[in-house]
Amino acid sequence: MAWFYKMTGDADLVEQQKPAFVEFLKSLKFPAAPASGGAAQMSPAFPPGHPAIGDTMTPAAASGPVSHEGQPNWQVPAGWQEVPAGQFLIAKFTLAGDGGAAAAVNVAMSAGDGGGLAANVNRWRGQLGLTPLSTDDLNKSLTTVAVTAGTAWLVEISDTDARTGQPTRLVGVVVSQPDRTWFYKLMGDAKVVESQKDAFTQFVQGVKY
């Protein structure tokens, strides 16, 4: 018998959650198959609180209603459309522009430092087809942002989306707290991102944890 486990979704979130995924796999315990040949009844012992596993390949959150579980208090800017967040995201919003142009805001949270500031910024750069920055160059690209709790850094990246080949802009904010890290990413059509940058920054600054 073979078991298959797949984590799929937004590239930076998958990379961010990879260590937790590996630890989850290490925690699985498979009981021995019964002598009567009932191997088909064998099931792994999942960690406490693990959601039920179905036979669908699509994350449940992708097709279900919008959930506000785990969200802090925030004021959503006018024109932002909240959509089901999917796996690993706390919230997701779509932003429409002229002529079908669009952008999206992703909100994610990870325990601890989430893999580190440099790793996450360089992962965002990779989404736009850019090479990683050295620590010194990365520090020069960051600016601080005042938030209600914790320390925040803002980065702006402009290039071409590696997946679509279209000119794209990304504005990201990383909010570090003692026990967790929040990741806010505005990414999409360059003109839409530029028009929404101030609203995005104010949104992040106004979040109450």
pLDDT by 10-residue block (mean), the chain, 209 residues = 78 79 83 50 45 34 61 95 91 94 96 93 92 93 93 94 82 95 96 97 96
Phi, psi of 161 (to 5 degrees): -65, 125
Say if strands 102-111 and 180-189 run parallel, antiparallel, or are unpaired.
antiparallel
pLDDT reported for residue 68: 79
pLDDT reported for residue 7: 84
pLDDT reported for residue 1: 66
114 vs 79, 99, 159, CA distance in Å? 30, 36, 25
pLDDT reported for residue 61: 38
pLDDT reported for residue 15: 76
Q: Which two tokens stand for residue 79?
A: 């024109």
**Alpha carbon distance 23, 33 (integer Å):** 24
pLDDT reported for residue 187: 96
Is residue 154 within 8 Å of 173, Cβ to Cβ?
yes
